[in-house]
Amino acid sequence: MTGQYVRVALDHPLDALYDYRYGLDSAPAPGMLVRVPFGRRDVVGLICEVNAHSDVPANKIRDVSAVCAACPPLSAQWLALAGFAADYYQRGLGEVALPALPQALRDPSRWARLLAPEERYRLSPQGRAALPDALPARAQALRRLAQALSGAGELDVAAARALHPKAIATLEAWCEAGWVEHERIEFGAAASAAHSAAPTAAVDVPRLSDEQADAVEAIGAASGFAPFLLHGVTGSGKTEVYLRALAALLERDPGAQALVLVPEINLTPQFEAAFRTRFAATLADEAIVTLHSGLAEGERARNWLAAHTGRARIVLGTRLAVLASLPRLAMLVVDEEHDPAYKQQEGLRYSARDLAVWRAKQLGVPVVLGSATPSLESWWQAEQGRYTRLTLARRAIADAVLPTVKLIDLEEERRRGRASFEGLSGPLVAAMKARLERGEQSLVFLNRRGYAPTLACDACGWVAGCPRCSAYVVLHKPERGLRCHHCGWESRIPRSCPECGNVDIAPMGRGTQRIEEALASAVPGARVLRIDADSTRRKGSAQALFSDVHAGEVDILVGTQMIAKGHDFQRVSLVGVLNADNALFSHDFRASERLFAQLMQVSGRAGRAGLAGEVLVQTRYPRHALYHALARQDYVGFANTQIAERRDAHLPPFVYQALLRAEGRTLEAALTFLAQAAEALAAIPGAERVMAYDAVPLTIVKVMNVHRAQLLVESQSRAALQATLRAWQPALRALRGVLRWNLEVDPLDI
């Protein structure tokens, strides 16, 4: 019978489709999610083909158990996207397609619940002004509920109950008080009329600069596939360009969808707020959704389904959102396109930026890549004319100018005997005190969390190391413990050196916790706030802390890369940079590019609202060319120099690379596996167009008692590299002797 058999992709390492008999009442179609038996388990699979016959013997073929009614079939275009990603990144189709879906869709026991009405609670304007100040100070659980509601904007029933056992009763009481609004949405329906009809205040739309207007016009005039590199200095109004371009798109095509990617979760709240404010009069609340790993699973599934069914018109998300299903996708935006966070480092090691460009080409729509410090790959594409470069050379606010950058020579400070405060130089401390007196804010950037990188003994040279990794453990003073940032191993701080018994053991180096402590004494009276991965572990805490900064309740903000990009701090006029020198001498050829981008981004947090901005960089190498380019705010000169060096050294973007990593119980096992892999590679016809380097251990060779090594291969032809990698896979699967291996295309960390 026609349509009796289906070929299904499963989340399985093998690049294969599995045949099943389809005997359900509904007609099968490619893109359907189905429950099928696989071994002794029932798993979720994706129908890729529908056939009249199967080559599998009838007594061995099994039946499809159920279809996911909550998820309409995925489109042929989405299947093509997943197929391209699987082929290019050398993975099975099921390994790409299934993990790209929300967990709730991959769990058949939750399918029925996805069809149930959705109930959400959100703060009303009255509640936003009253909560949580109206709650008793001792009602910590209620205050957490109010803070989570304020931070996330809204909570579903499951998220609310996870915060407080009587959350629903409390929220209903707050509804009666007018502090909270209750919304009930039937599956596939629009938001409740009561909420969507709420009056919206007039939005103050800023006037575009000539550069912004030219960029918006160019994007709007594009027809078909059109990649744009929006190179705008920090504070130049790139977000406003995105907003205007999307507004024009939605006006031209009321049913169109747009995807906006940001590199980190903590950037989504301010983007979401900006988009909701701008489109409040034209789009219902559920037409703008977010997709990232910080969402509760139910919320993420509903947002994904809103995008998949076309109800969501604008999707904001982190890298995984590039694989979301948007049937009417008409524009893509990748903000901070240079950011390494767009490259997945586990499982399917894909680049969200590169997939966004491919997806735009597939659909024939524009894609905008925005950055103050574009990746050298994107910059080279623009230099070659493959991307259209749009430049915003000035800050958007008329009286806002780029900050001045000054270098503090730490060796000169030491020679002159000038006082310092735990890594904070005298000039930096004086500058922070001056800002405190003027009521302005300062930002101190140190990309190292914890109190100190490690603990050491001066008597015998012992350094606290992780017993499971070839790495030092980090001292976390507030928790009074040592922690490995690679495997999570923890221990209490020893009272004395475990090697010689010396009680005089001391922290070595400085992290954000230590700088936070030093600032309290170096700048008396200043309100100091630390934002890093340790201070933002609880859901919603990052947004609450950033809200304190924006509200002016912080004088000095200290943190890691979490505070370095994307945030619009209106009152920050001083940025201090600590310990940037380490990246100058890295073995990674991309280290200089990353450091320059990082320093340019954090420098851009200063002077954004008309205040005179100043950046003080502490360094022992003030004559280094990178710092000179930074002082001139000269990205173009820096990029062109780096491009020339890459060309001479035959490095990306002038060659194409892949990295084979192996993990074994011993380093010898990993290196032996890679040596055998290199022999298998050399035997492949056409492999002479691919160069394989010697296998070497990773910088941190042991993690969780597993030893790691890598083998780099490269070619001047992308097609030749891809063909060789494809032919290499069967030989790699036949090799034994290691615990795991993985093949990464276009690696960023080598």
Flag whether 397 is in a domain.
no
Flag whether 365 is in a domain.
yes
pLDDT at 241: 97
Task: Say yes or no to pLDDT of 418 above 80.
Answer: no
Amino acid at 166: K
Q: Let me know whether 583 and 440 are in one domain.
A: yes
Q: What's 241's domain CATH number?
A: 3.40.50.300
* Spatial separation of the C-alpha atoms in residues 457 and 455, rounded to whole Å: 7
Read off the DSSP letter of residue 236. Answer: S
| Cis ω for the linkage preceding 132 (within 30 of 0) | yes
pLDDT at 343: 96
Q: List, in order, residues 6 or more apart from 143 with CB less than 8 Å away.
A: 132, 135, 137
Q: Which of 463, 445, 465 is nearest to 512 (CA)?
A: 445
Q: Of the candidates 363, 392, 421, which is a domain's last residue?
A: 392
Q: Let me know whether 262 and 349 are in one domain.
A: yes
* Higher per-residue confidence, 85 vs 189: 85
Q: Let me know whether 632 and 723 are in one domain.
A: no
Q: Let me know whether 595 and 664 are in one domain.
A: no
Q: Let me know whether 74 and 140 are in one domain.
A: no
Flag whether 282 is in a domain.
yes
Q: Let me know whether 36 and 154 are in one domain.
A: no
Q: Among 204-218, 392-406, 680-694, whose mean pLDDT is lowest? A: 392-406
Flag whether 361 is in a domain.
yes
* Higher per-residue confidence, 202 vs 297: 297
In sequence order, what E strands does 569-695 have? 572-577, 614-619, 656-664, 691-692
pLDDT at 375: 97
* Higher per-residue confidence, 304 vs 2: 304
Q: Is the dihedral of CA 588, 592, 593, 596 positive or negative?
A: positive
* Higher per-residue confidence, 115 vs 665: 665
Cβ–Cβ contacts within 10 Å for residue 628, how many?
15
Q: Let me know whether 52 and 29 are in one domain.
A: yes
Greatest Cα pair distance in the chain: 90
* Spatial separation of the C-alpha atoms in residues 359 and 363, rounded to whole Å: 6
Q: Let me know whether 522 and 619 are in one domain.
A: yes
226-253 pLDDT tens trace: 999 999 998 889 999 999 999 999 999 9
> 554 and 548 in contact (C-beta within 8 Å)?
yes
Question: Range of 684's domain?
Answer: 656-745
Q: What is the pTM of this model?
A: 0.88
Q: Let me know whether 628 and 727 are in one domain.
A: no
* Spatial separation of the C-alpha atoms in residues 349 and 85, rounded to whole Å: 10
127-157 pLDDT tens trace: 777 776 777 777 777 777 887 777 666 777 7
Flag whether 190 is in a domain.
no
> 512 and 446 in contact (C-beta within 8 Å)?
yes
Flag whether 473 is in a domain.
no
Q: Which residues are annotated as a binding site for Zn(2+)?
A: 457, 460, 466, 469, 484, 487, 497, 500
Q: How confident is the model at residue 3 (pLDDT cuts 50, 70, 90)?
A: low
Overall number of domains in the chain: 5
Task: Say yes or no to pLDDT of 194 above 50.
Answer: no
- Burial (CB count within 10 angstroms: exposed 0-12, middle 13-18, buried 19+), residue 690: buried
Q: Let me know whether 684 and 727 are in one domain.
A: yes
Flag whether 193 is in a domain.
no
Q: Of the candidates 170, 185, 200, which is a domain's last residue?
A: 185
Task: Say yes or no to pLDDT of 196 above 50.
Answer: no
pLDDT at 132: 65
Q: How confident is the model at residue 544 (pLDDT cuts 50, 70, 90)?
A: confident
Q: Which residues are annotated as a binding site?
A: 457, 460, 466, 469, 484, 487, 497, 500
pLDDT at 129: 72
364-392 pLDDT tens trace: 999 999 999 999 999 999 999 999 999 99
Task: Say yes or no to pLDDT of 628 above 60.
Answer: yes
Q: Let me know whether 300 and 326 are in one domain.
A: yes
* Spatial separation of the C-alpha atoms in residues 690 and 276, rounded to whole Å: 49
* Higher per-residue confidence, 588 vs 130: 588
pLDDT at 2: 46
Q: Bridge partners of 656?
A: 715
Flag whether 484 is in a domain.
no
Q: Is the dihedral of CA 207, 210, 216, 220 positive or negative?
A: positive
Q: Is the dihedral of CA 132, 136, 137, 140 positive or negative?
A: negative
Q: Of the candidates 620, 645, 670, which is a domain's last residue?
A: 645
Q: What's 736's domain CATH number?
A: 3.30.70.360
273-323 pLDDT tens trace: 899 999 988 888 779 999 998 888 888 998 999 999 999 999 999 999 999
459-510 pLDDT tens trace: 999 999 999 999 999 999 988 999 999 999 999 999 999 999 999 999 999 9
> 278 and 203 in contact (C-beta within 8 Å)?
yes
Q: Bridge partners of 228?
A: 368, 388
Q: Let me know whether 694 and 561 are in one domain.
A: no
